[in-house]
Amino acid sequence: MTTDAKIRNAKPGVKPYKIPCEKGLFALIKPNGSKLWRFKYRHDGKEKLLSLGMYPDVSLKEACERRDEARRLREQGIDPSENRKAQKATQAERSANSFEAVAREWFAKHSPGWA
């Protein structure tokens, strides 16, 4: 079983290397010293890799929780990576729409005095 101390004390090497956790979760230790959480899974027969965050911003416990959520999605037949992309697109659309609404309201309020 991987521990927080093992990840914290991992030293960068010449090449990136993995510290396996369990159920597809691993920490990727890069030569520049960054430590990244990754979840390896299969969807429609293809191997996929989901980024779960950077250590220590994302703790081992939180990485396990994110992995478990991705596994629940997989059990429902949903690709966690595609689900994340769809959520980001929806959020971007909402942000654009709310900015557009504010801009139109501002324009309508201020434009009559321009002529």
Going from N- to C-terminal start, the domains of the chain cover: 4-79
In this prediction, residue 15 carries a pLDDT of 98
Architecture label for domain 4-79 = 2-Layer Sandwich (3.30)
Q: Is pLDDT at 86 greater than 90 in this prediction?
A: no
Which residues have C-beta within 8 Å of that of residue 4, sequence separation ≥ 6?
Answer: 59, 60
Q: Is pLDDT at 115 greater than 70 in this prediction?
A: no
Q: Is pLDDT at 29 greater than 70 in this prediction?
A: yes
**Pairing mode of beta strands 46-55, 17-20:** unpaired
Residue 3 CB burial class (10 angstroms; 0-12, 13-18, ≥19): exposed
Q: Max alpha carbon distance in the chain (Å)? A: 71
C-alpha span between 12 and 46 (Å, rounded):
29
